[in-house]
Structure 1
Amino acid sequence: MSADPLHREVGPDEDGQRLDRWLRKHLPALSFGEAQRWARTGQVRVDGKRAKADQRLTAGAVVRLPPPALPMLEAKAEGRAGARQTTAEEAEFLRGRVLLETPDLILIDKPSGLAVQGGSGTDRHLDGMLDALKRHPDDERPRLVHRLDRDTSGVLALARNARAAAWATRAFRERTTTKIYWAVTLGVPRPARGVIDLPLAKRQVERGGERMVAVDEGDGQTAVTEYEVLAAGGPCALVALKPLTGRTHQIRAHLAAIGTPIVGDLKYGGQAVDLRGEGLPRRLHLHARRLTLDGPDGRRISVSAAIPPHMAQSFDRLGFDPEMDA
């Protein structure tokens, strides 16, 4: 690839991103409207061709940026040079969250409340701490290959190098991995085992903001989640969930759509009942319990993460077993 700074290669951890969001990530000073205008007027090219703003990028594709992007790139580089450094305490904390390491992968237990990537007003995030997981100073920086919401805890996979990142990105995209989540819900889903097959689309909601909502077929993206009620206690249930598609907020939106939102999910109705009398913290009760995948070397990997403290408190109050298989 050319050393021209206006030609940028899409990284393995960026596979599947929309072009306009990729532009905003690399050019924080660029407005969303300007990103769409660049695409609409052909100022941005992908592999030499015009591209729509909502086009999904593939790893290895080359994006050509217009000349106005150059000062934005330089400003971003200057900002990175003066960016906040990971403290020794944060590095030690992150290393303590490692569940399993292989020559290709690092699987960590992401805590609730820690954003995976930075954004407006987000100074402390996992992506900014990944140098702490290098084995040697000259090693490649570990890379994100999938995401968890800020307030979702549990197993998160990282790749040690570009080769492993390309493999892992493909594995997640092609759904050859198995992800099991635990959620504590308000109400008990019926039947006790089933499949939620409801298309999802982003919509404006009352009180401002956007969220994913269930829509008629053809009006949204296909979204499918398998679930099983593991236990019930008081007004709540412990539910194991396996998403078969990877839509934004899929589990949260699906559980809300069937009338059993996740405890502490303020965005999707989990605050509808005041559970302080039950002794339940008002934090999101969604946890990535287990991740199973075949590594690049063909070895089967299956890793589980213990529930976070606020969910452990709720399990104790509701009589749920945190060690059960699921």
Structure 2
Amino acid sequence: MRAGTGRLDAQVQIVSRETGALMAWHRGAGGWRLWRGAHRPPGDAGFATGAGLLSQHRGGREALLLELRAALLERRGPLVTLNKPQGLPVTGKPGELTLLSVLPELSQALGLRQQELQVVRAPGKETSGLVLLSSCPQTASRLRKFFIQSRRAHRPTATYWAVTNGIPAASAGQIRAALTLQHTDGVNVVVPVKSPSRRDILEGVKRTLSHFRVMATGFGCALIQLQPLTAFPSQLQVHMMLQLCPVLGDHTYSARVGTVLGQRFLLSVESTKPQRQALDDALLRRLHLTPAQAAQLPLHLHLYQMFLPGSRPTDAPIELRAPLPQYFSRTLQGLGFCQQQAPSAAAPRGQQREA
């Protein structure tokens, strides 16, 4: 496909947490178009200027609590789902402001007096999207077992969206890599391990697997659907780096991808350190960013869909979805992936129902 066409190869939709309206790409007579049924939700991290500089408000516990209440997506019995802002850690050291640290206040604010909320599933600090909470320990335990069993059976239960700086060579496929955590310069980074031995596996190296599908391409970037089938820190970021297509806003692993005469290649872990992602001039102009603003760009990785088991074995899976952050949507628009509005949209079909 020619750069800049913004063609979408899949039918997808999400739901606005503000109005309940659909935000969907739909194939019509004029091709793929975007129908958006919501404005920016309150408390959502977004671009503060026309140039696209991220501006997140972090004013302490009270401000975070208000932001999380605004991020409430759904309550279903003991289950509560939130749309986590990018940059919010789930756990941390004592005294740090995290999702866990404000769960007691959030439980009270939601009128849960008997049991405090506990985290069942949540994306990492730099990833935005769905957080699943439960006020019932038994329900939380049942769901954790469901996720573990699904991973063992290689059944995807979560779908992420990512914008990558680079386009994968294949339009869809699997990414397999053995990964391990390595402590370097005071931080933990994930590094791939080639041909791990049995001893490596016993010492913490893990074989990881993800499905990917390219949904749109343009201007040297891609919108990717990712479904991890294993769980490892920064797995999706590292998997896309290994495809020579680091996630936009990845200021940890993108430095491992080098370019000579337009050809990309992997640099050795020993020769690279985490550093701010550098974007070429053409992409900076397309996204209306200065190099300094690009160095602060948030990670464009969003957990947008999750499947849960029904109450009974014969029930259909429960589907949860989270709207994209404002900065993510603006990037899609800047890359030409979002076109003019269309009047209707159909529900997605296909491999998303595998869970």
Q: TM-score, normalization: structure 2?
A: 0.62
Contact 2:156–2:227 (8 Å) recurs in 1: no
Q: Tell me whether 1:101 sits opposite 2:109 in the alignment.
A: no
Instruction: Pick closer, same or farther for the CA change 1:119–1:208 going to 2, 3 Å.
Output: closer
Contact 2:112–2:135 (8 Å) recurs in 1: no
% identical aligned pairs: 28
CA distance in 1, matches of 2:140, 2:162: 28
Kindly provide the CA deviation profile for residues 41-67 of structure 1, in whole angstroms up to 9, marking residues without a partner as x.
xxxxxxxxxxxxxxxxxxxxxxxxxxx
Deviation of 1:123 after TM superposition, in Å, equals 2.6
Deviation of 1:85 after TM superposition, in Å, equals 8.8
Aligned to 1:155, what secondary structure does the other structure show?
strand
**Equivalent in 164, 189, 193 of residue 211 of structure 1:** 189
Deviation of 1:295 after TM superposition, in Å, equals 4.4
CA distance in 2, matches of 1:136, 1:297: 27
Q: Tell me whether 1:194 sits opposite 2:157 in the alignment.
A: no
Aligned to 1:266, what secondary structure does the other structure show?
coil
Instruction: Pick closer, same or farther for the CA change 1:235–1:158 going to 2, 3 Å.
Output: same
Kindly provide the CA deviation profile for residues 181-204 of structure 1, in whole angstroms up to 9, marking residues without a partner as x.
001011111211000011111235
Q: TM-score, normalization: structure 1?
A: 0.67
Instruction: Pick closer, same or farther for the CA change 1:166–1:208 going to 2, 3 Å.
Output: closer
Residue of structure 2 equivalent to 1:289: 304
**Equivalent in 151, 156, 160 of residue 181 of structure 1:** 160
Instruction: Pick closer, same or farther for the CA change 1:85–1:209 going to 2, 3 Å.
Output: closer
Structure 2 unmatched runs, 5+ = 1-58, 256-276, 340-344
**Equivalent in 118, 136, 147 of residue 92 of structure 2:** 118
What is the root-mean-square deviation in Å for CA atoms of aligned residues?
2.6
Structure 1 unmatched runs, 5+ = 1-83
Residue of structure 1 equivalent to 2:224: 239
Deviation of 1:293 after TM superposition, in Å, equals 1.2
Q: Tell me whether 1:276 sits opposite 2:284 in the alignment.
A: yes
Moved more, 154-163 or 227-236: 154-163
Instruction: Pick closer, same or farther for the CA change 1:137–1:197 going to 2, 3 Å.
Output: closer
Contact 2:78–2:135 (8 Å) recurs in 1: yes
**Equivalent in 253, 274, 278 of residue 238 of structure 2:** 253
Residue of structure 2 equivalent to 1:148: 123
Instruction: Pick closer, same or farther for the CA change 1:295–1:96 going to 2, 3 Å.
Output: farther
Residue of structure 1 equivalent to 2:33: none
CA distance in 2, matches of 1:224, 1:137: 38
CA distance in 2, matches of 1:240, 1:268: 19
Contact 1:106–1:159 (8 Å) recurs in 2: yes
Residue of structure 1 equivalent to 2:268: none
One-letter code aligned to 1:198: A
Kindly provide the CA deviation profile for residues 167-221 of structure 1, in whole angstroms up to 9, marking residues without a partner as x.
122122222661000010111112110000111112355x663311221232421
Q: 1:68-79 residue pairs with structure 2 within 5 A?
A: none
CA distance in 2, matches of 1:296, 1:140: 21
Q: Tell me whether 1:262 sits opposite 2:270 in the alignment.
A: no
Residue of structure 1 equivalent to 2:50: none
CA distance in 2, matches of 1:292, 1:255: 23
Residue of structure 2 equivalent to 1:128: 101
Deviation of 1:137 after TM superposition, in Å, equals 5.2
Which structure would you say has the larger RCO, counting Cα contacts within 8 Å and 6 or more residues apart? 2
Deviation of 1:118 after TM superposition, in Å, equals 2.6
Kindly provide the CA deviation profile for residues 82-109 of structure 1, in whole angstroms up to 9, marking residues without a partner as x.
xx9942x543332221212111311111
Deviation of 1:308 after TM superposition, in Å, equals 0.6
Deviation of 1:142 after TM superposition, in Å, equals 0.5
Would you tell me which structure has more strand in proportion to its own residues?
A: 2
Instruction: Pick closer, same or farther for the CA change 1:159–1:213 going to 2, 3 Å.
Output: same
Alignment length (residue pairs): 240
Q: Tell me whether 1:165 sits opposite 2:140 in the alignment.
A: yes
Instruction: Pick closer, same or farther for the CA change 1:243–1:129 going to 2, 3 Å.
Output: same
